[in-house]
Amino acid sequence: MQKQFVILLAAVSLWMVFSTGASSETQVSTGKYIQIMKPNTKVYENGQTIGYLREGEIFQYQWEEQQQYAIQYENYVAYVNRSNVRVTTTVPLEVVPKSASTQDIRTRKATNLLDKYGRTIVTASADRRFPVYGTTDTQYKVLVGNRVLYVDKTAVQVDKGIPILMYHHILRDAENTNYRNVSTTISDRQFISQMDYLKSRGYETISMADLEQYVKGTRLLSAKTVAITFDDGLKSNVLYAYPKLKELGYRATMFHITSRMLDTPQMFDPARLQFISKPEVDATRDVFDYHGHTHAKHNILEGNISELLVISHMELKDDFYQAQQLLPQQYFAYPFGQYDSVTIQVLQEMGYKAAVTSKTGYVSRNSNVYELPRIGIRPTTTITKFASYFQ
């Protein structure tokens, strides 16, 4: 009961912040505030410094912990050490009315966020994303600790969102006899140069759980993040993707078809498809997170319709249940990219937290977690084309 009351209070105060001053910035004196007492006080998240706060400045805080205060930052919160601040009361702050803008910006280098007099209040680190709460002719408005801050438009770029790369089969050119003109089969050299490109540009890989939390607004992510996914659970991925990913310290998500996951490894034959066996799953978990791609319904029917769309609600549930028994899974890739509202409903009923499609695009704060777009990598994806996805 008491917890519900606290949540209600939090919701009301959040509503007050956003609804105060419908047309212009106004002063509010509610909330809890901290004042920065040391020069260049670090603001950090997940062990990483992501900005510096100017000495003397005051920010609203969201909650306190034993060693730190959480302040609103980017799309969620980041932390400030208690030893660098003091609590203060009744402080006027600028706030903006809730904005309908869905745009984000990203910093390219360390970037100053200013108050309306042009003083630097926060220095945001390179490659951070901030929701845009408003614009002037030359500046974007962002919030830190519920304060309105300004950044010159020329100092930042518009954020496209997070890319999820979609791979299937990988073969060496010399052994590729049967999959030459198949859009989902790329060469091992292509894959290696793509991964080297990402590493050279400072990209780090994220999991489906990271993405889900980012979309739900409970996680910050650097602008240099990418999710790597493989559909179908092909053995070629263990041979040609696993070693490269491991070498670079990268992780990837494998959407496996559990009915094809045998108890013993299959002999590799590049003329046909083999699937990752149970022992291979266990041996590659240091790189691959295994998730769902149906148990036995990865079939395309006449008229190019996925079997998933024609079976009953109960058959669908039963298939997902069997997949979960064989391979615990919380995320899902739609076979052939096909799904409808029933598919999403059953995924939710069965405890799946998010799903990826084959629609082209980037993941943003505004994405639907059950319809996350991806970027398909094809044999025709040159390194120049690949690089363009990260501009």
| Nearer CB in complex with Zn ion: 53/316 | 316
212 vs 231 by CB, closer to Zn ion: 231
Q: How far is the CB of 336 from Zn ion (least distance, A)?
A: 7
Between 74 and 231, CB nearer to Zn ion? 231
Closest approach, Cβ 298 to Zn ion, in A, equals 6
**Least distance (Å) between residue 88 CB and Zn ion:** 56
Indicate the residue among 184 and 266 with the shorter CB distance to Zn ion: 184
Binding-site size, Zn ion (CB under 5 A) = 3
| Tally of CB atoms within 10 A around 199 | 16
Choices 48-56, 209-217, 225-233, 280-288 (CB under 5 A): range interacting with Zn ion: 225-233
Spatial distance between the Cα atoms of 361 and 98, rounded to a whole number of angstroms:
26
The residue (of 147 and 297) whose beta carbon lies closer to Zn ion is 297
Nearest approach in angstroms of CB 327 to Zn ion is 15
**What are the DSSP calls for 115-159, one per residue?**
-TTS-EEEEEPTT-EEE--EE-SSEEEEEETTEEEEEEGGGEEE-
H/E stretch holding 331 = strand 331-333
Nearest residue to Zn ion, using CB?
A: 231
- CB 333, min distance to Zn ion, A: 7
Q: How far is the CB of 165 from Zn ion (least distance, A)?
A: 15
End-to-end CA distance of the chain: 49
> Which residues make Cβ contacts (< 8 Å) with residue 295, sequence separation at least 6?
257, 258, 259, 319, 320, 322, 323, 326
10 Å CB burial of residue 102 (0-12, 13-18, 19+) is exposed
Query: Is 307 a binder of Zn ion (CB under 5 A)?
Result: no
Q: How many CB atoms lie within 10 A of CB 384?
A: 7
| Nearer Cβ to Zn ion (163/335) | 335
Cα–Cα distances (Å) from 96 to 92, 147, 188, 340, in that order, read: 13, 8, 51, 38
In the complex, minimum distance from the CB of residue 286 to Zn ion, in angstroms, rounded to a whole number: 24
Please identify, among the stretches 8-16, 71-79, 223-231, 344-352, the one whose residues bind Zn ion according to the rule CB under 5 A. Answer: 223-231
Minimum gap (Å) between residue 255 Cβ and Zn ion: 7
3-class DSSP state of 230: strand
Stretch that binds Zn ion, among 235-243, 309-317, 332-340, 342-350 (CB under 5 A): 332-340
Stretch that binds Zn ion, among 85-93, 123-131, 231-239, 300-308 (CB under 5 A): 231-239
Pick the closest to residue 201 from 76, 6, 386 (CA basis). 386
Our CB check for Zn ion shows the closer of 212 and 232 to be 232
Looking up tokens 């598919």 gives: 343
Closer to Zn ion by Cβ: residue 145 or 335: 335
Residue 241 to residue 235: CA distance in whole angstroms: 10
Toward Zn ion, which CB reaches closer, 103 or 338?
A: 338
Say whether residue 232 binds Zn ion (CB under 5 A): yes
Tell me whether residue 4 is exposed, middle or buried, using C-beta atoms within 10 angstroms of its C-beta: 0 to 12, 13 to 18, 19 or more.
exposed
Site for Zn ion in 335-354 (CB under 5 A): 335
Q: Output the smallest distance, CB 335 to Zn ion, in A.
A: 5
Q: Is 79 helix (H, G, I), strand (E, B) or coil?
A: strand
The residue within the footprint of Zn ion, chosen from 57, 159, 212, 231 (CB under 5 A), is 231
- Give me the amino acid identity at 198: L
Contact (Cβ atoms closer than 8 angstroms) between residue 165 and residue 181: no
By CB under 5 A, which span of 99-107, 328-336, 368-376, 379-387 interacts with Zn ion? Answer: 328-336
Report how far Cα 183 is from the mean position of its chain's Cα atoms.
Answer: 26
CB of 67 to Zn ion, least distance (A): 46
Judged by beta carbon, residue 242 or residue 334, the one nearer Zn ion is 334
- Per CB under 5 A, the segment of 70-78, 93-101, 232-240, 356-364 that binds Zn ion is 232-240
Interface residue list for Zn ion (CB under 5 A):
231-232, 335
